[in-house]
Structure 1
Amino acid sequence: MSDASGFDRYGGPLGVLPDRTGQAEAFDAIGQYYDDAFPHKDGQLAAGRWLSDALPPGSRVLDVGCGTGVPTARQLADAGHTVLGIDLSSGMLDLARKNVPGQNAEFRQLDVAALRAEGPEGVGKFGGIAAFFALLMLPRAEIPYALRLLHGLLRPGGPLALSMVEADLDDAGIPFLGHTIRVSGYRRGELRQVVRDAGFDIVEEDTYSYAPASTDVSPSSQLRSTRGGPNPEHQLFLHCRRG
């Protein structure tokens, strides 16, 4: 996918759109089961509280990969912020609109690569951004660009709450609630560097070990321990500010 200047964003052939084949369709199919498969979201709730508390009252917040709207969009809207949630999956967005009704939240079907502040489809600027497990749905070649794009949408000094699963993966197909999705990940040192290179200062970091209710949903299941079993999933939460 290229911009008006002809710059190729992802290092691929000029003008080629990012390949999202099957990603949205998988989440359309599993949307109603998603929150049951991930019932414990302590890390995401804690990072959402940090983001909300770091913002002035009534701030405008972007929730990237908002999913069903639970817990982040609801958490931010309940705190009095105005939320724009974006997701590729129309099924997830339908659930988000039901889960987070009211004037404080709006949901749009948008690819992170299509986000622009200005223009006919522009989304404007934001006081804060949440991106919980959204960037892991991108190939590694796209993640630095996506972070720079979010940097440009964030007001100077604004907070970004970001999470990824720690895993050495690049666009790997994994089983996910009866479907196949493609995910990427980094070791934590690599993730820190990618985030800093995009212009963010990391002010705090948390790690949570997590076991989903289903064993068929974990990116870390692709990594094997020395005993031959799956490693526990380590969720990395970075509290950042636009530098």
Structure 2
Amino acid sequence: MRLDRTGQAEAFDAIGNRYDEAFPHKEGQVAAAEWLIGSLPPGSRVLDLGCGTGVPTARRLTEAGFEVVGVDLSGGMIALARENVPTGVFHHMDIADLGPEGPCDLGRFAAVVAFFALLMLPRAEIPLALRTVRHLLVPGGLFALSMVEADVDDFSIPFIGRTIRVSGYLRDELREVVEAAGFEIVEESSHTYAPATVDVQPEVQIFLRCSRHT
């Protein structure tokens, strides 16, 4: 599959800290992180896919004693994450690099989080990305995922002064795609969110808490 990341990383390089200013309240992410903290022993390895600035997820997980590895396509975001979470380990790379046939091996993880990371991919790549997550997890490992509910595929939108391309599903289809990749959905929640910026529309955020089938 030919990957097209044109402009995606550059947009987030330019956005930088304005991302956290536009999305100041991340209750869904915080709740999912607390679920992991209550479910895993301290010292567990957790992968944060699309880690962004490292706030709040990577920071909270490291505070809880987890070994956190973050990955992001944006070098600017990785630089901010390293500043914000000095005890984490952060890599500037694409999720496609982490698959079974990919060039990078970060080992296996007790849990993976992907908060609004997969929506940056075309729909054709999302099932492969989910299978990559399954590959990265130990048997029975936990997976926390969030997406914006929308029936779109690689659709260009204005976003904090830039343009990005996003994909999404309606919630029933999202469940089907996640379960088909080898996950059991153990809990689901949704939040109606109005970002603190005029060029990002209010959205419905879906959070899934999953476990990897053995």
- TM-score, length-scaled by structure 2: 0.96
Structure 1 residue aligned with 2:163: 180
Could you tell me how far apart the structure 2 residues matched to 1:27 and 1:110 are? 14
Compute the displacement of 1:55 (Å). 1.4
Of 41, 44, 47 in structure 1, the residue corresponding to residue 29 of structure 2 is 44
Could you tell me how far apart the structure 2 residues matched to 1:125 and 1:160 are? 13
Q: Deviations over 1:137-182 (max 9, x none)?
A: 0000000010011101100111100000000110000001111000
Structure 2 residue aligned with 1:238: 208
Contact map agreement 1:117 1:123 (CA 8 A) in 2 = no
Structure 2 residue aligned with 1:90: 75
Compute the displacement of 1:216 (Å). 1.2
Q: CA RMSD in A?
A: 1.3
One-letter amino acid matched to 1:198:
A
Compute the displacement of 1:116 (Å). 4.0
Compute the displacement of 1:117 (Å). 6.5
One-letter amino acid matched to 1:57:
P
Structure 2 residue aligned with 1:215: 198
Contact map agreement 1:128 1:160 (CA 8 A) in 2 = yes
Change in 2 beyond 3 A, CA 1:118/1:76 = farther
If each structure's strand is expressed as a fraction of its own residues, which one has the higher value? 2
SS at match of 1:203: strand
Larger Rg: 1
Structure 1 residue aligned with 2:130: 147
Could you tell me how far apart the structure 2 residues matched to 1:51 and 1:170 are? 30
Compute the displacement of 1:53 (Å). 1.7
One-letter amino acid matched to 2:148:
V
State, as a whole percentage, how many aligned pairs show the same letter: 66
One-letter amino acid matched to 1:178:
G
Runs of 4+ in 1 over 2 A off after TM superposition: 116-121
Structure 2 residue aligned with 1:170: 153
Compute the displacement of 1:203 (Å). 0.3
Contact map agreement 1:45 1:71 (CA 8 A) in 2 = yes
Could you tell me how far apart the structure 2 residues matched to 1:153 and 1:162 are? 14
Structure 2 residue aligned with 1:8: none
Of 179, 182, 189 in structure 2, the residue corresponding to residue 199 of structure 1 is 182
Compute the displacement of 1:118 (Å). 8.8
Count of residue correspondences: 213
Could you tell me how far apart the structure 2 residues matched to 1:77 and 1:49 are? 12
Could you tell me how far apart the structure 2 residues matched to 1:154 and 1:217 are? 33
Change in 2 beyond 3 A, CA 1:22/1:119 = closer
Farther off after superposition, 169-178 or 47-56: 47-56
1:32 equivalent to 2:2? Answer no
Contact map agreement 2:119 2:147 (CA 8 A) in 1 = yes
Change in 2 beyond 3 A, CA 1:190/1:196 = same
One-letter amino acid matched to 2:106:
V
Change in 2 beyond 3 A, CA 1:118/1:182 = closer
Of 45, 63, 71 in structure 2, the residue corresponding to residue 78 of structure 1 is 63
